[in-house]
Chains A and B, each alone.
Chain A
Amino acid sequence: MIVAQRKDFEQIKAAAADFRKVLVVGCGTCVAVCLTGGEKEAGILAAQLDLASQIKGEEKSFAVACVERQCDLEFLDELAETVLDHDALLSLACGAGIQLLAERYPRVPVLAGVDTTFIGINRDVGLWEERCRACRSCLLTTTGGICPVSLCPKGMLNGPCGGTRQGKCETDPERDCAWSLIYERLAGLDRLENLSAIVAPRDHGARGQPGRQVHPAYLRRYSAHE
């Protein structure tokens, strides 16, 4: 899932300062699971903003809407009528959702209410950890299911750097060294031979940036009409 955190309230308030009618748009998928931008959090933010503006005696209004997924046009269409009544959309979705919302409603300014942090796992209620960088060249088969690209700050592919201390990372004594974890996991699996071959430099140009992925069926359908 995508993990995000809410921006500082003062920052959000300042971003919304220029607008009279603001629609806070939550997203019911990843950011709802990480308790940042779901229906509940959108409601809380709108209530806070409304309270703050009432206290200042401003003539503003805030409203809430939440769609299932902001990264999907199908769900954004639901907002078509509501959007017309507002001067700005304050999105609590990840960076992808915010962009699609802005693309779908280009005549209304879109404000970002969260900072997208990473692709991660739900360790516990209230605890998320990064696990993937979407690097497009997954090594997990050989590294015992532990990702050196996202878990090693240097993204080392051939083993630990010299900064590992008692199995911890030089950047933070609390953080496990990814390569120590990989070593232990593979030793336990009796698969240390996975590490013997030199791993070649990553192909950063594999598919070009920004990413685009096409399903064969999509090609079949649309090339037939061309």
Chain B
Amino acid sequence: MSKFEQALADKDFVLTVELDPPRGVALAPLLELAGRLAPRVDALVVSDNRGAMPRLSALAAATRLAAQGAEVVLTLTCRDMNRLALTSQMLAAGAAGIGNLLLVSGDYVSLGDHPGAKPVYDLDSVQALGLAVTLASGRDLAGQELDGAPSFCLGAAVAAQSDPLPPQLIKLKKKAQAGARFIVTQPLNGLEELQGFCRQTATLGVKVLAGLEVADPGQRQGVVGLLREIRGSGLVAGAHLSMPAAQDDLPALLDACGL
């Protein structure tokens, strides 16, 4: 069982932060930032070409972070990899001691900065969870035995504020069936977005982490307040913080939140 999975089981409220690998080869600042963040959160979630914008490989960055002792959740998107590439990345993650995966479809390429790229989507997120479970069982999708099986705590994403919500819930149920232990919501705007959602997901047996994003570094107070509200509501198992425009300010955000 990964440290993060243990935290999900033991703690009332877990906290994760999202880190983007650099757009370039300069990893040192990320490693330094991660060193400061790791002791204060339950896991560092390494994003994978977030927003369909290519960066240094999430696997490579996550491997380095794990090597310096951080508890890491590696994000993998179905947009950029077919089942062969996903298999090899998951095996590499397992070999690097990365015990947590967040498996997502991935924003469509036209939303990113390489809109002419060919999107893959060989698997969808439900099928990618199935792949990870299959690998953990010691076989690949072709049924061949693995020389050493990985072990993962699996997560998926959900749009809690989606309208209509029922189609999302149908898929969320499949994600839970397929092996997701935790669910990260897309960035929320208010507590009310969680209320109806959590009523309907209570029976799924997954831990919900409320996604909170500081889009504008000058406007972090809203997120600080919302985090307090969400924590107080007891609706969710934890929160996932991101500051895509200024992740270097994440320690300051944690300070402001009193965490």
Contact = CB atoms under 8 A, between A and B. Distances in A.
A and B touch in the complex (CB under 8 A): yes
Interface of A: 153-167, 170-171, 179-180, 182-183, 187, 192, 195-196, 198-202, 204
A155 B108 CA distance: 11
A183 B127 contact: no
A171 B162 contact: no
Contact of A154 (B108, B127, B157): B108
Contact of B119 (A154, A163, A180, A183): A154
A171 B178 contact: no
Contact of B159 (A162, A182, A183): A162
A192 B168 CA distance: 13
A158 B162 contact: no
Contacts of A156: 105, 121, 124
B119 A164 contact: no
B124 A157 contact: yes
A154 B167 CA distance: 16
A171 B109 CA distance: 9
Given A162-B157, A183-B164, A198-B178, A155 B121 contact: yes
Interface in B110-131: 110-111, 119, 121-127, 130
Contact of A170 (B108, B125, B168, B171): B108
A159 to B, nearest CB: 3
B252 interface: no
B171 A160 contact: yes
B132 to A, nearest CB: 13
Given A164-B162, A167-B164, A198-B130, A158 B121 contact: no
B4 to A, nearest CB: 21
Nearest to A160: B167
A195 B245 CA distance: 38
Contacts of B107: 163, 170
A159 B119 CA distance: 18
A201 B141 contact: yes
15 contacts: A156-B124, A157-B127, A162-B158, A162-B186, A170-B108, A171-B108, A180-B164, A182-B167, A183-B167, A187-B166, A195-B170, A198-B127, A198-B174, A201-B83, A201-B130
A50 B116 CA distance: 36
B122 A201 contact: yes
Given A198-B130, A201-B122, A201-B123, A158 B166 contact: no
Interface in B172-200: 173-174, 177-178, 186
Given A165-B163, A201-B83, A158 B124 contact: yes
A162 B105 contact: yes
A201 B126 CA distance: 9
B79 interface: yes
Contacts of A165: 162-163
Contacts of B164: 167, 180, 183
A157 B111 CA distance: 21
Contacts of A200: 127, 130
Given A164-B159, A201-B83, A183 B121 contact: no
Given A155-B121, A164-B159, A196-B173, 15 more contacts: A153-B110, A153-B119, A154-B119, A158-B124, A158-B126, A159-B167, A160-B162, A161-B124, A163-B107, A198-B127, A198-B177, A199-B126, A200-B127, A201-B123, A204-B122
Given A159-B168, A198-B174, A198-B178, A154 B83 contact: no
B159 A158 contact: no
Nearest to A202: B122
Nearest to B121: A154
A170 B111 contact: yes
Contacts of B108: 153-154, 163, 170-171
B126 A161 contact: no
Nearest to B141: A201
A180 B159 contact: no
B127 A158 contact: yes
B121 to A, nearest CB: 5
B167 A171 contact: no
A153 B52 CA distance: 14
A111 B122 CA distance: 34
A207 B164 CA distance: 37
A164 B110 CA distance: 15
A195 B170 CA distance: 7
Contacts of A158: 124-127, 171, 174
Nearest to B156: A162
